Amino acid sequence: MTTTTITGISELVTCDDSTPDRLGVRTDTALVVDVGANTILWLGDADHVPATDNRVDLGGRALTPGFVDTHSHLVFAGDRSAEFAARMTGAAYDGGGIASTVAATRAASDDDLRALIAGRMAEMRDQGTTTVEIKSGYGLSVDDEVRALRLAAEVTPETTFLGAHVVPPEYRDRRGDYVDLVTGEMLAAVTPYARWVDVFCEPASPYAFDGEESRAVLEAGRDTGLGLRVHGNQLGHGPGVQLAVAMEAASVDHCTYLSGADVDALADAADVTVATLLPGVEFSTRSPYPDAARLLRAGVSIALATDCNPGTCYSSSMPFMIALAVREMGLTPAEALYAATRGAAKALRRTDIGRIVVGGRADLAVIDAPSYLHLPYRPGVPLVRALDL
Ligand code: NIG
Ligand code: FE
């Protein structure tokens, strides 16, 4: 066992949610890490550190749990920057552009995709993210969905089958057959590589799935042992949130358009279903931001994630999401940081990440500033990175 002491921490954000702001910020504190096991062994008074093999002095920088990015679509090839530019001058997003990414992704080799995934993962780590969920959804054939999940599983345990992203062009006139494929042969083939199943439940998009189709996808996934996640209420009001709550999904993501009944349902389900907010999508699609402060007041569990994807938000930056959540969604910096760490861990049903606790993983992010407040205070400045020990 190799042990390392971390000292010089100006502010240690533990995300101990028994504290008033749930951040559990400590000063004059040091950590001891078992580097091989990536586990926190000791946390305590900086003046009474036990003897260890190595010592890292952060020189007065803040240390937080690494960000937990619970929603990304990193397995893709191709370029849709022109679609983004068109939106910035008024074009609306409806999911139609996904087909072009599907074509480019199918045409890419395994090694091309591996390199693209690795590049995006490195980008994330360089911005403080230590856990990444990755969805399939740009393959949309049995072989291409298996391939996407196989490649995703090489880099993260948090893999999500999103065969029900959109109905691919070749099935446009026989949607029912595609739902049968997703819930049958495709699901059976991907199960060894997937932890979760997800569906783009969005009757407002002609390409995505309605409530009934979405329920079929989620039921089939659940029956094969996958955990449930839902893309819901992104483009308009719809059944996604209610379906996610009724089926005890771990998370319903986007939640851009919420009715009072949706908020009530999420509040009642706060122990089970997290509302994952993706402010980069509102930013990149010129959509209204959901009122996250209202959700917290109602008692909803929330998380923040990037949704890093070529269509609605090609940003891998959790610090940017924190800044947007503070500026545009009404969260305090403390609430936003919690939602990006411990709140997000809950959306993956994990207790070993998203906080700094003895026995938990030593997934840490160091901020080149004295306080975590600098995350939203200095948007766009590369202050935070995952700590390599
Ligand atoms: O989470 N909403 C559906 N899927 C993605 C966008 C996919 C794309 O446009 O390529 C999302 O926003
Ligand atoms: Fe998404």
Average pLDDT over residues 278-300: 98
For 17-33, the pLDDT digits (tens) are 999 999 999 999 999 99
For 108-146, the pLDDT digits (tens) are 999 999 999 999 999 999 999 999 999 999 999 999 999
Task: Return the pLDDT at 171.
Answer: 98
Task: Return the pLDDT at 202.
Answer: 97
Contact 306, 69 (CB under 8 A): yes
- Which CATH architecture describes the domain 67-347? Alpha-Beta Barrel (3.20)
DSSP run (H or E) holding 271: none
Q: Domain coordinates of the chain in residue numbers?
A: 3-65+355-386, 67-347
DSSP codes joined into one string, 180-210: HHIIIIIHHHHGGG-SEEEEEE-TTSSSSB-
**Minimal-distance CA residue to ligand 1 atom 12:** 312
Task: Return the pLDDT at 127.
Answer: 98
For 149-203, the pLDDT digits (tens) are 999 999 999 999 999 999 999 999 999 999 999 999 999 999 999 999 999 999 9
Atom of ligand 1 nearest to the CA of 253: 1
DSSP run (H or E) holding 302: strand 302-304
3-65+355-386: CATH class: mainly beta
Rg, the chain, Cα only? 21
Pocket test for ligand 1, best of 287, 312, 314, 321 (most atoms within 8 A of CB): 312
> 0.85 cut: is pTM over it?
yes
Topology alike, domains 3-65+355-386 and 67-347 = no
C-alpha of residue 61 to centroid of ligand 2, in Å? 33
